[in-house]
């Protein structure tokens, strides 16, 4: 039952990121900007997930509690990793576009 809840939470996080990206990024902006903003929002929501589900470790935690915290920490790492990849893809594409405009100008 817990894995179904986790899948629903991940779907909710993705939905919130898409909705916030649509609010922040205008239609005339490019996919590059959407990738950067979406990556940053995904990183932020990953940290929120960590605070809500992982929290502080218990001083005398049982093995089951430690396993549950490790499970949620792995989910947090995946969310933040996806956010970092999205941010870097947008950033690299922006740098490539800037450099191509700079060096490919007709003289």
* 19-63 per-position pLDDT tens digit: 776 677 666 667 777 788 888 888 888 888 888 888 877 788 889
Rounded CA separation 10/76 (Å): 10
Rounded CA separation 94/92 (Å): 5
What's the pLDDT at 1?
Answer: 42
Rounded CA separation 17/94 (Å): 21
- More confident of the two residues 1 and 106: 106
Q: Provide the 10 A C-beta neighbour count for residue 37.
A: 20
User: Is pTM, for the whole model, over 0.75?
Assistant: no
């Amino acid at each position: 039952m817990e894995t179904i809840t986790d899948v629903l939470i991940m779907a909710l996080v993705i939905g919130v990121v898409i909705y916030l990206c649509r609010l922040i990024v205008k239609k005339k902006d490019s996919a590059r900007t959407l990738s950067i903003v979406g990556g940053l929002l995904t990183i932020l929501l990953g940290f929120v997930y960590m605070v809500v589900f992982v929290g502080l470790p218990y001083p005398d935690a049982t093995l089951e509690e430690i396993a549950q915290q490790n499970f949620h920490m792995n989910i947090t790492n995946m969310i933040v990793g996806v956010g970092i990849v999205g941010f870097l893809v947008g950033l690299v594409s922006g740098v490539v576009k800037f450099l191509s405009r700079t060096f490919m100008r007709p003289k």
